[in-house]
């Protein structure tokens, strides 16, 4: 019941805020959004799951009610947590209040709608990470699009409408592809499943429940389904070459929305990849290991190169997200404890760090009203604290040890280098690792140009330090990043526990 309470409360909060007067919608939303966070901390404290929810591990806070029965398959309300989903739930509930706080300054119109949509999105995100029934999961998965469309389209930048529609249509197309692929798979499972519950499907697949279906042999079916779902999720992640909606969306979206977009929405894609492609169809994944690793490496290097070419601070961070997601894919495809676990950890770490980066850039933008590298210089002179945290965050992004980013990346690298499941693993890993040099290159030069040197910015008003409610969330995020970097095991332990079954699921001839 607790999970229903969590999600339900968030939906309710969204409704309440939607109806609240603009004047204090922001404060109300912040106060309400604190509740789910406390709730998730409670979940964390009472967390008792063992193993992976899909592969027969014990599911924490499990609750299941039959909903609809269609075509001999029951669709049920089926939610629960395991070591992979809990960190992401905590991440979501942790980021949303901070994002709301960071919205106080920039969002100055239709506040109640804005904060209402933010909470509505949070509710759906929680649903995505907790749902264990395919259709329920898909409902939440699609429902996330709606608030995002409005949040980008109403409060976004000059080209907000283009960006919003692009994001909307592109990701929805991907979802449909994925839906058809996965549905065919479930029907090819024939009578070996009686519901669309993910654990049952995983079990049936593992037991070789696939039958020849309308002349499609099981092996072929699995491969087709894998490709369809992989492509579908690749858009969400996004992986090169399906990434072009991301920079547009990020640049146009207002700061708090970018925070959630980079912090949580991208993780939906990687989370889905882990849950569906790599947990349910591990053998197809390892059969395609080389091409997947190749696009992972391409994402890393190509994304970093693109970031190097950008002049807009937000675009830089956006492309570097593409790059970072490449690490996650690499970690998943190697099927080792540290690879898969590190990938999951990196989801959380990148969520925090990219959130911090977007937030800090946003705070600077609030003061300067420009994000162009050429337009400003020496901001450190005027807003020392913000810039200090921004620099810290940037180093976190570069994978500075004892910050969360390094932990995630190092886990992935150390897990990937000697991985038996991936041929030429050392080569791929070494290539991907070169990303840490490029990322340092573009972040450092961007910072040098904008933050340091003699102060220069044409404004007709005085630029001073940012208000407390802008800086506070930055500090909190930075603290969280350092804590996770110094003691990664607070999450990594449960993640490993849930990741091991995935690793063992693959049959590799070592």
Partner 1 sequence: MSNVAPAWTALSPALLLGLTGLALLVVDTIRPNARSNTSMALVSALGALASLSVTVWFVVAGTGHADTGGAITLLDGAVKVDTLALFFTAIFASVTALVVVAAHDYFHDHPNPAAFYSLTLFAATGMALLAVANSLAVVFVALEMVSLPSYALVAFLKKNRGSVEAGLKYFLVGALSSAVFLFGISLVYAATGSLIFGEVASAVESLDALAGVAGIGIVMIVGGVAFKTASVPFHFWAPEAYEGAPAPVSAFLSSASKAAGFVVAFRVFTEAFPLGASLAAGIDWALAFAVVAAVTMTLGNFAAAVQEEVKRMLAYSSIGHAGYALIGLAALSTGSAGNEAVMGAAMAHLLVYGFMNTGAFLFVAMAERWGIGRTFEDYAGLARRAPVACTAMAVFMFSLAGLPPFAGFFSKYFLFMGAIENGFLWLAGLGAVNSVVSLYYYSRVVRALFLDDPATPSALDALDVRPTALYAAVVFAAVATVLLLPGFGPVIDAAEAAAAALF
Partner 2 sequence: MVDAFAYVPAVVLLPFFSFLVALGAGKYLPKGGAFGGVAATAGSFLLSLWVAATVAGGRAYNETLYTWAAGDQFELTFGALIDPLSALMLVIVTLVALLVHVFSLGYMNDEGETGLPRYYAGLGLFTASMLGFVVADNLLMAFMFFELVGLCSYLLIGFHFREPGPPSAAKKAFLVTRFGDYFFLVGVVAVFATFGTAAFAGEGSFPALAEAALAGSGDVWTPGGLGVETWFTVVGLLVLGGVVGKSAQFPLHTWLPDAMEGPTPVSALIHAATMVAAGVYLVARMYGFYALTPTTLAVIAFIGGFTALFAATMGVVKDELKQVLAYSTISQYGYMMLALGAGGYVAAVFHLTTHAFFKALLFLGAGSVIIAMHHNEDMWDMGGLKAKMPVTYYTFLAGSLALAGIFPFAGFWSKDEVLYEALVHGLNEPLLLGGYVMGLLAVPVTAFYTFRMVFLTFHGEPRSATARDPEPVRWNVKGPLTVLGSLAVVTGFINMVPVQKVLGLEGIDYLHRWLDNEWGGIDGLSSHHYADLGPYSSGYIGGGEVPTVLVGAAVSLGLALAGLGLAWRLYNVASPTEHTAKLGGIKDVLYNNYYLDELQVWIAYRTEDVAGGADTFDQGIIDGVVNGVSSVSLLGGNRVRRIQTGLVTQYATMLTLGLIALLVVLGVNGGWFL
Does 187 bind partner 1 (CB under 8 A)? Our answer is: yes
Q: Please report which residue ranges of 104-197 form alpha helices under DSSP H.
A: 111-130, 134-143, 145-155, 160-188
Stretch that binds partner 1, among 45-53, 167-175, 313-321, 329-337 (CB under 8 A): 167-175
Which 434-453 positions form the footprint of partner 2 (CB under 8 A)?
Answer: 434, 436-437, 440-441, 444-445, 447-448, 451-453
Which residues have C-beta within 8 Å of that of residue 27, sequence separation ≥ 6?
none
Of these, 31, 149, 388, 420, which contacts partner 1 (CB under 8 A)?
149
Sheet strands (E) in 315-446: none
Task: Return the bridge partners of 377, or none.
Answer: 456
Does 167 bind partner 2 (CB under 8 A)? Our answer is: no
Does 236 bind partner 1 (CB under 8 A)? Our answer is: no
Does 378 bind partner 2 (CB under 8 A)? Our answer is: yes
Q: Of all helices (H) and strands (E), which one includes residue 342? A: helix 337-368
Q: Please check whether residue 412 is in contact with residue 418, taking contact to mean a CB–CB distance below 8 angstroms.
A: no
Distance CA 373, CA 360 (A): 15
* Residue in 278, 276, 267, 295 with CA at minimum distance from that of residue 333: 278
Of 8 and 401, nearer to partner 2 (C-beta) is 401
Least distance to partner 1 from the beta carbon of 271, Å?
A: 18
Does 254 bind partner 1 (CB under 8 A)? Our answer is: no
Distance CA 431, CA 426 (A): 8
Of 56 and 72, nearer to partner 1 (C-beta) is 72
Of 170 and 233, nearer to partner 2 (C-beta) is 170
Does 433 bind partner 2 (CB under 8 A)? Our answer is: yes
Cα atoms in the Cβ-side hemisphere of radius 13 Å centred on 72: 8
Does 213 bind partner 1 (CB under 8 A)? Our answer is: yes
Does 142 bind partner 1 (CB under 8 A)? Our answer is: yes
Does 468 bind partner 2 (CB under 8 A)? Our answer is: no
Does 402 bind partner 2 (CB under 8 A)? Our answer is: yes
Least distance to partner 2 from the beta carbon of 145, Å?
A: 17
Of these, 8, 56, 72, 291, which contacts partner 1 (CB under 8 A)?
72
Q: Please check whether residue 335 is in contact with residue 439, taking contact to mean a CB–CB distance below 8 angstroms.
A: no
Least distance to partner 2 from the beta carbon of 237, Å?
A: 15
Question: Which contacts of 306-309 are long-range, i.e. CB under 8 A and separated by 24 or more positions?
Answer: 307/438, 307/439, 307/442, 308/438, 308/441, 308/442
Stretch that binds partner 1, among 69-77, 404-412, 471-479, 496-504 (CB under 8 A): 69-77
Separation in Å, CA 162 to CA 2, 143, 150, 388, 396: 39, 20, 12, 34, 32
User: 3-state class of 238 per DSSP?
Assistant: coil
Stretch that binds partner 1, among 87-95, 169-177, 259-267, 386-394 (CB under 8 A): 169-177
Of these, 168, 226, 245, 335, which contacts partner 1 (CB under 8 A)?
168
Does 105 bind partner 2 (CB under 8 A)? Our answer is: no
Helices and strands, number each (H, E), in the chain: 23, 2
Of these, 2, 31, 35, 180, which contacts partner 1 (CB under 8 A)?
180
Of these, 78, 155, 397, 417, which contacts partner 2 (CB under 8 A)?
417
Does 380 bind partner 2 (CB under 8 A)? Our answer is: yes
Separation in Å, CA 13 to CA 28, 118, 200, 410, 466: 9, 10, 33, 39, 29
Does 69 bind partner 1 (CB under 8 A)? Our answer is: yes
Of these, 30, 114, 129, 140, which contacts partner 1 (CB under 8 A)?
140
* Residue in 89, 96, 103 with CA at minimum distance from that of residue 44: 89
Q: Please check whether residue 116 is in contact with residue 66, taking contact to mean a CB–CB distance below 8 angstroms.
A: no
Does 16 bind partner 2 (CB under 8 A)? Our answer is: no
Q: Please check whether residue 52 is in contact with residue 84, taking contact to mean a CB–CB distance below 8 angstroms.
A: yes
Least distance to partner 1 from the beta carbon of 168, Å?
A: 6
Stretch that binds partner 1, among 67-75, 263-271, 440-448, 455-463 (CB under 8 A): 67-75
**Residue 73 backbone dihedrals phi, psi, to 5 degrees:** -120, 130
Does 134 bind partner 1 (CB under 8 A)? Our answer is: no
Q: Please check whether residue 128 is in contact with residue 140, taking contact to mean a CB–CB distance below 8 angstroms.
A: yes
Does 245 bind partner 2 (CB under 8 A)? Our answer is: yes
Question: Do the bridges between strand 73-81 and strand 60-70 make them parallel or antiparallel, or are there none, so unpaired?
Answer: antiparallel
Separation in Å, CA 111 to CA 23, 107, 408: 8, 7, 36
Task: Return the bridge partners of 73, or none.
Answer: 70
Of 9 and 67, nearer to partner 1 (C-beta) is 67
Separation in Å, CA 114 to CA 25, 34, 369: 9, 17, 21
For residue 398, the partner it binds in partner 2, partner 1, none, with Cβ less than 5 to 8 A by kind, is partner 2
Chain contacts with partner 1 (rule: CB under 8 A): 67-72, 135, 138-140, 142-143, 145-146, 149-150, 153-154, 160-161, 164-165, 168-169, 172-173, 176-177, 179-180, 183-184, 187, 213-214
Interface contacts to partner 2, rule CB under 8 A: 166, 169-170, 240-241, 243-245, 302, 305-306, 308-310, 336-338, 341, 378, 380-381, 395, 398, 400-402, 406-407, 410-411, 413-415, 417-418, 424-426, 429-430, 433-434, 436-437, 440-441, 444-445, 447-448, 451-455, 487-489, 492-493, 496, 500
């Amino acid at each position: 019941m607790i999970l229903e309470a969590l999600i339900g409360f968030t939906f309710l909060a969204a409704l309440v805020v939607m109806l609240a007067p603009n004047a204090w919608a922001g404060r109300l939303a912040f106060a309400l959004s604190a509740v789910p966070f406390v709730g998730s901390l409670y979940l964390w404290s009472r967390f008792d799951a063992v193993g992976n929810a899909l592969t027969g591990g014990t599911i924490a806070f499990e609750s299941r009610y039959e909903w609809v029965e269609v075509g001999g398959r029951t669709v049920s309300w089926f939610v629960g947590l395991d070591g992979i989903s809990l960190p992401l739930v905590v991440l979501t509930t942790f980021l949303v209040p901070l994002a709301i706080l960071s919205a106080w300054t920039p969002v100055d119109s239709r506040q109640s709608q804005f904060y209402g949509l933010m909470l509505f999105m949070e509710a759906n995100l929680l649903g995505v990470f907790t749902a264990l029934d395919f259709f329920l999961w898909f409902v939440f998965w699609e429902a996330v699009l709606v608030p995002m469309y409005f949040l980008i389209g109403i409060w976004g930048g000059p080209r907000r409408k283009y960006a919003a529609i692009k994001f909307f249509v592109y990701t929805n197309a991907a979802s449909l592809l994925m839906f058809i692929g996965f549905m065919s798979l479930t029907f090819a499972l024939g009578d070996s499943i009686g519901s669309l519950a993910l654990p049952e499907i995983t079990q049936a697949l593992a037991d070789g429940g696939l039958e020849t279906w309308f002349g499609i042999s099981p092996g072929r079916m699995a491969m087709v389904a894998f490709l369809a779902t992989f492509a579908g999720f690749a858009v969400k992640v996004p992986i090169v070459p399906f990434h072009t909606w991301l920079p547009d969306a990020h640049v146009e979206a207002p700061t708090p929305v970018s925070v959630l977009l980079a912090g949580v929405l991208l993780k939906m894609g990687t989370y889905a990849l882990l849950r569906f492609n790599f947990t349910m169809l591990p053998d197809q994944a390892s059969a395609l290991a080389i091409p997947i690793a190749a696009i992972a490496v391409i994402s890393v290097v190509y994304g970093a190169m693109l970031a190097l070419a950008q002049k807009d601070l937000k675009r830089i961070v956006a492309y570097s997200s593409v790059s970072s997601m490449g690490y996650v894919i690499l970690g998943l495809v190697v099927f080792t404890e540290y690879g898969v676990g590190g990938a999951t950890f990196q989801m959380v770490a990148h969520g925090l760090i990219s959130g911090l980066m977007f937030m800090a850039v946003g705070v600077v933008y609030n003061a300067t009203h420009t994000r162009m590298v050429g337009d400003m210089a020496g901001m450190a002179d005027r807003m020392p604290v913000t810039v200090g945290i921004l620099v810290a965050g940037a180093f976190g992004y570069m994978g500075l040890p004892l910050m969360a980013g390094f932990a995630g990346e190092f886990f992935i690298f150390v897990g990937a280098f000697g991985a038996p499941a991936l041929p030429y693993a050392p080569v791929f890993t070494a290539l991907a690792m070169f990303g840490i040099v490029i990322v340092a290159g573009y972040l450092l030069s961007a910072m040098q140009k904008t933050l340091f040197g003699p102060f220069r910015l044409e404004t007709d008003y005085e630029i001073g330090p940012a208000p407390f409610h802008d800086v506070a969330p930055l500090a909190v995020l930075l603290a969280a990043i350092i804590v996770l970097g110094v003691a990664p095991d607070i999450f990594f332990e449960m993640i490993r526990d849930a990741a091991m079954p995935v690793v063992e699921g693959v049959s590799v001839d070592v």
